[in-house]
A and B are shown apart, each in its own frame.
Chain A
Amino acid sequence: SQQGEEDPQALSIQEGENATMNCSYKTSINNLQWYRQNSGRGLVHLILIRSNEREKHSGRLRVTLDTSKKSSSLLITASRAADTASYFCATDRAGNQFYFGTGTSLTVIP
């Protein structure tokens, strides 16, 4: 069964704007990861944040983690048309298995 849920399910913004996606999960985790998937393609790992971390940056990406609320957010700043994709959060559990959130479909309009 899926571990997490993401919102919004779909997001459409203008190029240059910031995009924020949220992920909520149900059980305790060791770490949370964000992935990107272009239509019909495999997944690309974006960023990992551990349970003892609250915020992490990578280029135009900023991820926050609130373990008390069991939620995480992914912020993409200064969005580009090439950022158009689906974004998934993934949480781990015992046994090294990962569960994916429902995903957010981002469309960046040039």
Chain B
Amino acid sequence: GAVVSQHPSRVICKSGTSVKIECRSLDFQATTMFWYRQFPKQSLMLMATSNEGSKATYEQGVEKDKFLINHASLTLSTLTVTSAHPEDSSFYICSAPVGGVTDTQYFGPGTRLTVL
């Protein structure tokens, strides 16, 4: 089946630093990818839609200058958390629909970000 990978799986950083998280579709092309954030014991909250070759679409309340998204190729989207603060600590998960339509989305294993 389709596989989506994320790197790194876990990152700890100091407050004020920027962290880049990669999301790759390993055996299929994804013109669209989605980024979610999940706080402990809560559901996934859609942050933004990453579009290959164009600007990302952000959900209401998500700061685009805080969470920079770049979808540089058909298999890679990156999420950069800029000037991270402890409140940004969360589980970040990406997903990609197979075939360009949202019948089924395949999710990456997630990235656990801890900001000290």
Contact = CB atoms under 8 A, between A and B. Distances in A.
A88 B110 contact: no
B32 to A, nearest CB: 6
B70 interface: no
A50 B93 CA distance: 24
B110 A102 contact: no
A92 B104 CA distance: 10
A98 B57 CA distance: 13
A41 B109 contact: yes
A98 B105 contact: yes
A110 interface: no
Interface residues of A, number: 26
Q: How large is the interface on B (under 10, 10 to 19, 20 to 34, 35 or more residues)?
A: 20 to 34
B43 A96 contact: no
A78 to B, nearest CB: 25
19 contacts: A1-B59, A2-B45, A33-B105, A35-B107, A41-B110, A42-B109, A43-B44, A43-B95, A45-B104, A48-B103, A88-B43, A95-B49, A98-B105, A99-B46, A100-B36, A100-B45, A101-B43, A103-B43, A105-B41
Interface of A: 1-2, 30-31, 33, 35, 40-45, 48, 88, 90, 92, 95-103, 105
Given A42-B107, A45-B104, A100-B44, 11 more contacts: A2-B45, A30-B102, A40-B112, A42-B110, A45-B105, A88-B43, A90-B105, A96-B49, A97-B34, A98-B46, A103-B42
